[in-house]
Amino acid sequence: MRPKIVAANWKLNKTLNEGLDLVQFLLSKTNEHDNVIKILCPTFPLLYPIHQILDKNKKFYLGAQNCSAFERGAYTGEVSAAILKSVGCDYVIIGHSERRKIFNETEDILKEKLHIALKENLKVIYCVGEELNQRQEKLHFNVVKNQLENILSLNEDQLINVIIAYEPVWAIGTGINATPKQAQEMHQFIRETIATKSTEMANNIPILYGGSCNASNASQLFAQKDIDGGLIGSASLKGDEFIQIIYAAS
């Protein structure tokens, strides 16, 4: 049985004090929901201070929003997977649509990041999803299938450490979300695509929804057969709302 997973992507938000306050609030509200895997992904400078709090209770896991495609060396401003592991990260997000679009990360770059992160024993939340014009032109299945090629290149020992997050780019930060039917349709397609490599892995790999998931729509989305939780953006910045999303997944 696949686990339910709720991951918070804080993006470029929260100062140190704001982040620590939010973590303490979340910890005070989550005693009854240990059946949900809960992951917090703050900005790089907040990782170790938050790790020091989370390490004492194990209620949440720590994740990074990105990692370098390089292992080490003269790459000013980069943060390697090994460094992320050393400051307490369990997970890393790779391939988020904002990294693909704003920072021009190609499939080749993402493949390097994916393999380096797995080599350092980080679990990867790997993002795929189409833009609005691609959906309107009915190219969304082809786009996502192409984005899954890096996942299909992994062996089964690597795949067990991968979570896929489907994020319809047209629904991120817009307040527009895919309907449960639309989301389920794509999640099912992703699972069927993974099944071309391994039916067992397709049945076991968690797939999260990541497009404007919030407290009001989480229950309907998480009730879908192939949706195993959410990669939550803006709603994860509000303690009360994020707790409601965790409740919806439990």
Q: 3-state secondary structure string, 25-70?
A: HHHHCCCCCCCEEEEEECCHHHHHHHHHHHCCCCCCEEEECCCCCC
Task: Please confirm, yes or no, whether 96 is among the known catalytic residues.
Answer: yes
- Identify the band that residue 175 occupies on the pLDDT scale cut at 50, 70 and 90: low
- Transcribe 96-157 into DSSP letters: -HHHHHHS---HHHHHHHHHHHHHTT-EEEEEE---HHHHHTT-HHHHHHHHTHHHHTS-HH
Q: Is 136 helix (H, G, I), strand (E, B) or coil?
A: helix
122-161 pLDDT, tens per residue? 999 999 999 988 988 999 999 999 999 999 999 999 999 9
213-228 pLDDT, tens per residue? 999 999 999 999 999 9
Q: Is residue 171 predicted with pLDDT exceeding 90? A: no
Helix (H) or strand (E) holding 34: none
Superfamily in which the 62-235 domain is placed by CATH: Aldolase class I (3.20.20.70)
- Compute CA 73 distance to the chain's CA centroid, rounded to the nearest angstrom: 27
65-76 pLDDT, tens per residue? 999 999 999 999
- Taking the domains of the chain in order of start, what are their residue ranges? 62-235
User: Considering the entire predicted model, what is its pTM?
Assistant: 0.96
Task: Point out the catalytic residue in the list 96, 120, 130, 140.
Answer: 96
Q: What is the pLDDT of residue 81?
A: 98
Task: Please confirm, yes or no, whether 167 is among the known catalytic residues.
Answer: yes
Task: Point out the catalytic residue in the list 98, 112, 120, 167.
Answer: 167
